[in-house]
Chains A and B, each alone.
Chain A
Amino acid sequence: EAQVTQNPRYLITVTGKKLTVTCSQNMNHEYMSWYRQDPGLGLRQIYYSMNVEVTDKGDVPEGYKVSRKEKRNFPLILESPSPNQTSLYFCASSPIRLAGLPNSYEQYFGPGTRLTVT
């Protein structure tokens, strides 16, 4: 089954304790991205990756790190979590498509990770 998986689904941690949220996709997609979802703010992009070893900042990258050593995996790292990083996090993937082709840029989302930092 084609899917994006995230682990853990729920995490409660304390300020300053490093954590990693894993993301894996089995669709051989080049593009992967992390979003955070907060009430009234919608989905905001944290980091994205166009391919292995190619990552770039999204709209809200402060306090986060990512890596893309393999095509299927795109972990999100919080080196020193703070309470303002309490949020619902989503990983997504999509194939890279060129403009002009009659295809969509559909992104496939994981089930989400609910993070609470106290």
Chain B
Amino acid sequence: GENVEQHPSTLSVQEGDSAVIKCTYSDSASNYFPWYKQELGKGPQLIIDIRSNVGEKKDQRIAVTLNKTAKHFSLHITETQPEDSAVYFCAAHGNILTGGGNKLTFGTGTQLKVEL
């Protein structure tokens, strides 16, 4: 089955700096890659996603890049703010057409801390 690795496990940045979180996946048939943000005491919430036919997607200060050949994707947060402090999870979704099912496989999470 799919295996998703995520790095780093913790990341500390100064307010205003950029943060980058990287993930790799094993199943070349996976076709959807979301990023979830989990604030303390809450469930994960989708912040951005990218499909396999797109190389980059941006939404204000957040961007995601996908390299299908290398099977890795990254989350970029620019001009970080204290409210960006949270745990971030990457995930890969199986391809229904190739038997991957409606299943998300998550990375192990990155604790991002934005310091004043």
Contact = CB atoms under 8 A, between A and B. Distances in A.
Interface string A77-114: 00000000000001010101011101011110111100
A109 B45 contact: yes
Nearest to B108: A42
A43 B106 contact: yes
A50 B102 contact: yes
Interface residues of A, number: 29
Contact of B89 (A43, A105, A106): A43
Contacts of B1: 59
A45 interface: yes
A31 interface: yes
Contact of B43 (A44, A100, A111): A111
Given A42-B89, A104-B46, A96 B102 contact: yes
Interface of B: 1, 6, 9, 31-32, 34, 36, 41-46, 49, 51, 89, 93, 95-97, 102-109
11 contacts: A4-B43, A31-B102, A40-B108, A42-B106, A48-B103, A92-B43, A94-B102, A98-B96, A102-B51, A106-B46, A111-B41
